[in-house]
Chain A
């Protein structure tokens, strides 16, 4: 009896182990067809169709390289877990935000300053990436592909019908809001229940009213947010008067639906919201203008940042092939294909057709009057979006700005120390 029971148990255990072995054996089967394999993971699942098309075209026209483009949902989580697993793709397509800074700081990205295609990229966008480095690094680590723009979307038919003019400074903007309200229409849509949407008007105002490099100035201890962000905060509060009664009850989707159904004349959000709005009202004529945060019209700039850039990973063994993929993606017709699909702004020099909802901001793009999103410098765990939401609910500007400063020092402690070390070394080496 005893022996039998032991044997059964060991059979069970052995069976499980065998199954495990068999399965892991299957996993390690390799597909080696003599081609160089390049894997690109990009973080915008909404662009999956374009990238699928580009992938097919690339593979049809290249015999020596096989390209796989992956556009997963929750891409940042997936990328981070793949880094942990040391299963690193050759190229990653990410945004020009703090994740880029972190990856760069962790020495994960390759220096691609020898890549020739860089000369076609608008310097303004290369500077934006440069500014995202915690401490100045030598070399280039990303190729800006497309940018997005955020300001104010407006219902163009409604505007034409009522003869409303596009405002160029803050006074004109508030006057316009009063006028719209007098016509019995709600001027603005907000979806502040989704905290990230608080950042859209915040960024758009901040680029007009605060220095572009305010975050690195604070890191160096040269200024404080309580001085630089006061006007931004006050104007955020003013905006609230022109939105729905309870803006914190509605999320991003609700705000898009409200704007699409003509419940409001304007919506302070980026061009990325247009597909969602059009899914509710496909025939809507949407245009946009730059948020006129300042009273001086020429101080107002477009809020535009790198939405998608490609970085070659340090661990990639096929840099040459990766460059060839980048060359292909940067071909004018392929860039145009992406722009058409995603209403994006190209980072490449050249003559591209822009989506109609960018008509109102076109001159700013052409003149290069653009500044990066301020939130690209905020650490996500500081939850600035939620802090802005809290501020808009409690409406206590002083408390908000004070907390902003103290929290900033706490969440950026390691970075600030790095900057201090860097500055000190620079001083001593001189």
Chain B
């Protein structure tokens, strides 16, 4: 009995100070931010209370609405693309290949560069190189970044290019938790190829799939650096992500109060989505 209490006490002593730290530098400023969302604060100087005006405006603001549509479209497509490619890549990098660690290292390089830097590099690619290739192939040499129809695809490519690296690593570490004897048993049963993956490997790495899905979705819903370095929200405001609007109009512009309201709503939306994702995938995990 004493042992159990001891264990409980240790856990509490670990948890309480860390929770306090977290509260001070995450929740407390968040509460202040929520308070600002009821004002017309510019970020400095004097301000007035405006009640729920910011929230009323938010739901009537076409620009905010468009940014939600764009962000969700981008996040969903990118999450799917990234997870498919990185899972394939992880399977490849985890199989019996030559130069395994060198290849793993090289495939990780995209992640090492900062997102802004990657954006600048791809800017060159999309502006000068891709149009020439496209012209040779299809006869149409317009830049993807200048087209309201295609700019989001360019952003998707850049986001994916960079995110695949980390997801692959997480999948590889997942694949390595799969004990060798599972395959041995599978081999005896005659399982091969895709069948082996579907019925043996995938269920075992499902927790990693959950983590990747949630992290990916969250990262892309909060996409910011890539927008800053590639399009700055253009062309024709077609690639303004929610984070871009919040930062650009809230910090650089004088809409701090209004964008705080936007951030509050955005926060609630993302939490809702992620909880849904985790519950859904968690249930799947338990079923297996």
A–B direct contact (CB < 8 Å): yes
* Chain B residues numbered 245-286 whose CB sits less than 8 Å from any CB in chain A: 248-249, 251-255
Which of B6-14, B183-191, B197-205, B216-224 lies at the interface with chain A?
B6-14
Which of B43-51, B73-81, B102-110 lies at the interface with chain A?
B43-51
Which of B86-94, B170-178, B227-235 lies at the interface with chain A?
B227-235
* CA–CA, A13 and B20, complex, Å: 12
- Inter-chain contact B13/A394, CB cutoff 8 Å: no
Is B127 an interface position by the 8 A CB rule? yes
* CA–CA, A105 and B143, complex, Å: 43
Partner of B14, one of A9, A246, A386: A9
- Inter-chain contact B40/A414, CB cutoff 8 Å: yes
Interface of A: prevailing SS: helix
Enumerate chain B residues within 8 angstroms of A102, measured Cβ to Cβ: 42, 45, 254
- Inter-chain contact B9/A80, CB cutoff 8 Å: no
- Inter-chain contact B236/A394, CB cutoff 8 Å: yes
Enumerate chain B residues within 8 angstroms of A117, measured Cβ to Cβ: none
Tell me the nearest residue of chain B to A254, going by C-beta: B127
* CA–CA, A92 and B13, complex, Å: 49
- Inter-chain contact A107/B45, CB cutoff 8 Å: yes
Enumerate chain A residues within 8 angstroms of B232, measured Cβ to Cβ: 194-195
Is A31 an interface position by the 8 A CB rule? no
Is B207 an interface position by the 8 A CB rule? no
Q: Given contacts A193-B234, A389-B235, A389-B236, is CB(A381)–CB(B45) below 8 Å?
A: no
Is A261 an interface position by the 8 A CB rule? no
| Contacts across chains A and B counted by CB atoms under 8 Å | 102
* Chain A residues numbered 95-135 whose CB sits less than 8 Å from any CB in chain B: 98, 102-103, 105-108
- What are 9 contact pairs spanning A and B, CB under 8 A? A83-B43, A84-B43, A102-B254, A195-B232, A195-B234, A383-B233, A383-B248, A383-B249, A411-B255
* CA–CA, A415 and B254, complex, Å: 12
- Inter-chain contact A386/B236, CB cutoff 8 Å: yes
* CA–CA, A303 and B209, complex, Å: 58
Q: Given contacts A249-B145, A381-B253, is CB(A84)–CB(B44) below 8 Å?
A: yes
Interface range on chain B (Cβ under 8 Å from partner): 35 or more
Interface string of A393-430 (1 = CB under 8 A from B): 11000000000000000110010000000000000000
Which positions in B face A, CB cutoff 8 Å? 6, 9-10, 13-14, 17, 40, 42-46, 57, 123, 127, 131, 142-143, 145-146, 148, 231-237, 248-249, 251-255
- Inter-chain contact B143/A246, CB cutoff 8 Å: yes
Partner of B45, one of A108, A254, A387: A108
Is A76 an interface position by the 8 A CB rule? yes
- Considering only CB atoms and an 8 Å cut-off, how many residues of chain A contact the other chain? 41
Tell me the nearest residue of chain A to B10, going by C-beta: A5
Tell me the nearest residue of chain B to A411, going by C-beta: B255
- Inter-chain contact B252/A77, CB cutoff 8 Å: yes
* CA–CA, A248 and B235, complex, Å: 7
9 further contact pairs, Cβ within 8 A, besides A193-B235, A248-B143: A80-B44, A195-B232, A246-B142, A246-B143, A246-B146, A254-B127, A386-B233, A386-B237, A389-B235
- Inter-chain contact B123/A393, CB cutoff 8 Å: no
Enumerate chain A residues within 8 angstroms of B17, measured Cβ to Cβ: 13
